[in-house]
Amino acid sequence: MLLTYANQLTILRMLFVPCFVLLLIYGHPKAATVLFLLAAVTDGLDGLIARKLQQKTVLGSFLDPMADKILLTAAFVTLTIPSLPLVLHIPTWLTVWTISRDVLIALSVLIIHLQTQHSQFPPSFLGKCTTALQLLTVGVCMLANFYTDIALAVFPFVTYTTLVFTFASGLHYAYKSIKIIASYQEAGDVSSRD
C-alpha cells in the first residue's frame, strides 16, 4: 500500500504548512502555535506508526524529511518577517544560515548522485540534532505568545546553539560528501587498473 497511515500523517503535516503561515500573517499567533504543535506531534507519530505497523516505504523515506524541511523553512522565513505582530522574531542571520546549509546539502546530494549514482543519504546524528534544535527555536519563538518571560530568557541560548549545530552539521555533511566522492573515484581507479 503506497499511502500507509504513516504517509498520510506526513502529507497532513505538509498541508498544515500553508495554514500555519496564513495564521501568522493574519495575526493569529496562538492558533498558529497550536497548529505547529500538531504538526510536531504528527512528525513523531508517523515514524512510530511506520515502525509499529511495519509500514516503512520508499515514499515515506522521501516524504518525511521533505515535510520537516518544508515546515521548518516556512516557519523560519515567516517568523523572521519583522512586520508581523509577534513577541519574538527569529534573527535574519539564523534564517539565512539555516536555509543556506539546506541548499548546500541538497546541491551536494544532487552532485553526488549525478556523479556516482549513490542514492542512500541517511541523516546523521548531528543532522537530527540540528533539526530538533531548529524545531525548538520555532517552538520557543511561538511560545513567547503565551509565556513571554520564559521564552525571552531561553531564546538567545536556543538561537546560538542552533547556529552552532547548523554549522557543525553542515561541515559534517560536506566531509561525508567528499568521502563518498573520493571512495567512488578510488573504486573507479582500481577497476580501471584491473
pLDDT for 27-40, tens place per residue?
899 999 999 988 88
pLDDT attached to residue 105: 83
Given 41, 68, 86, which residue is the final one in a domain?
86
Given 45, 68, 86, which residue is the final one in a domain?
86
pLDDT attached to residue 192: 53
**With 0-12 CB in 10 A as exposed, 13-18 as middle and 19+ as buried, what is 165?**
buried
pLDDT attached to residue 28: 92
With a cut of 70, which residues of the chain have pLDDT below it? 1-2, 47, 50, 53, 55, 57-61, 118-122, 187-194
20 and 75 inside one domain: yes
pLDDT attached to residue 166: 94
Given 40, 55, 86, which residue is the final one in a domain?
86
Q: Domain count of the chain? A: 2
Interhelix angle 29-52/125-143, rounded to 10 degrees, is 150
The residue segments making up the domain with residue 13 are 1-86
Q: What is the pLDDT of residues 111-134, one digit of tens each?
A: 777 777 766 666 778 888 998 899
DSSP letters for the chain? --S-HHHHHHHHHHHHHHHHHHHHHTT-HHHHHHHHHHHHHHHHHHHHHHHHTT---HHHHHHHHHHHHHHHHHHHHHHH-TTS--S----HHHHHHHHHHHHHHHHHHHHHHHHH-----PPPHHHHHHHHHHHHHHHHHHHTTT-HHHHHHHHHHHHHHHHHHHHHHHHHHHHHHHHHHHHHHHHHHHHHH-
17 and 46 inside one domain: yes
pLDDT attached to residue 23: 94
96 and 26 inside one domain: no
